[in-house]
Amino acid sequence: MKHLFKNLIFVSAFSMAALFLVPQAHAATNIVSGSQWAWNDVIGWIDMQFTENLNVTVADDKLGGYANSSMGYIALNCLTGLGDSCALGNWKVLNDGTGNLSGWAWSDAIGWISFNSTTGGGSVAYGVNIDSTGDFSGWAWNDVVGWISFNCANIGGSCVASDYKVKTTWSPSGGGEINNWLISSTFDTCPLGTDCGVALNTIMWKGSSLDGSRVKFQIATDCVSGTLPACDTWNFLGPDGASSFYQTNWDDPIQINQLNHLNKRYFRYKIFLDSSSGTTPVVNDVIINWSP
């Protein structure tokens, strides 16, 4: 399949100031609008895509953000909780990379929500899964309200009465994104050679994306072999290391983990296009915001 990359560019914070007056501290949701509903018989509908600022995101290793319900917010990761939530334990909903979910979410109203009986215990086997099309299925469990369903097909084909499910544009590892990738040229943030070293703030892209297609990024500022700037091998990282990715909808900046790239002069990015759904996104521009 043809790789639909066009003008892959780098823009500094100075020329993009008008677009970055408000820091973007959240990731764009990859839950599909209209297919965002889970169900519980006690609390009713659970909205997995209810606000731009508290997004639910699916990554290769975990879920993040908040869902919303009649009982209030449900946090899917301690890192998205308010305050130092991880001090109470490094809890989260885990993804094994193939769509099998496990671990825990938390609600202040009803407590822990288990996504898999292997980690949650109990005598009944249950779990939540994501298939190759991004559809959720299966059940989570809470001791107060009971079963949470992520797809109407769980209940004996009852989708005729109430057609709901949770769907994401993420798909399990092994999709088309492995074959559709490109590494940028090396960018020098300090061409004059004085007072070098910057903070990489956000990355975003412009173009178009159809249902099921995704764009991912990794950033490299460290040289594994060779000498900067003419490095032979770069260490490309996502927000949580080499096995993670920055994933965002078009025209929506996502924050870069500065701890991995602070005060570095040279960088590259690696872009992945996922065509596993049968369509490939078109990327016209890639924009990285930085500050000295």
Report domain extents, the chain.
17-26+174-291, 31-168
Distance CA 252, CA 83 (A): 25
Average of pLDDT values for 30-41?
89
Q: What is the pLDDT of residues 213-256, one digit of tens each?
A: 678 899 999 888 778 887 878 888 988 888 788 988 888 899 99
C-alpha to C-alpha distance for 160 and 207, rounded to whole angstroms: 37
- Torsions phi, psi of 73, nearest 5? -75, 150
Q: What DSSP string describes 127-147?
A: BEEE-TTSBEEEEEEETTTEE
Q: What CATH class has 17-26+174-291?
A: mainly beta
221: nearest Cα among 273, 182, 259, 271: 259
Confidence category of residue 16, pLDDT binned at 50, 70, 90:
very low
Higher pLDDT, 83 or 291: 291
Q: How confident is the model at residue 54 (pLDDT cuts 50, 70, 90)?
A: low
Residues with Cβ within 8 Å of residue 20, at least 6 apart in sequence: 13, 201, 202, 253, 289
Q: How far is CA 227 from CA 88, 182, 233, in A?
A: 43, 21, 9
Nearest-angstrom CA–CA distance, 268 and 185: 6
Locate tokens 């059940």: which residue? 139
User: What mean pLDDT do residues 29-48 have?
Assistant: 90
pTM for this entry: 0.54
What is the predicted pLDDT for the residue at 129?
93
Residue 160 confidence (pLDDT): 67
Residue 63's Cβ-side half-sphere holds a number of Cα atoms within 13 Å equal to: 32
pLDDT(24) > 80: no
Task: Give residue 211's pLDDT.
Answer: 62
Helix, strand counts (H, E) of the chain:
1, 22
Q: What is the pLDDT of residues 87-110, one digit of tens each?
A: 667 889 998 888 899 999 999 899
Quick check: helix, strand or coil at residue 91? Answer: coil
pLDDT at 201 over 70: yes
Count of CB atoms situated within 10 Å of the CB of 62: 18
Whether residue 132 is predicted with pLDDT greater than 60 in this model: the reply is: yes
CB atoms within 10 A of CB 12: 16
The average confidence (pLDDT) of the chain is 78
Amino acid 81: pLDDT: 53
Other CB atoms within a 10 A radius of the CB of residue 90 amount to: 11
Cis (ω within 30 of 0) for the bond into 229? yes
Which pLDDT does position 212 carry in this prediction? 56
pLDDT at residue number 140: 95
The reported pLDDT for the residue numbered 40 is: 94
Taking residues 52-81, report their average pLDDT: 82
Compute the distance between CA of residue 156 and CA of residue 161 in angstroms, rounded to an integer: 11
Looking at per-residue confidence, does 255 or 179 come out higher? Answer: 255
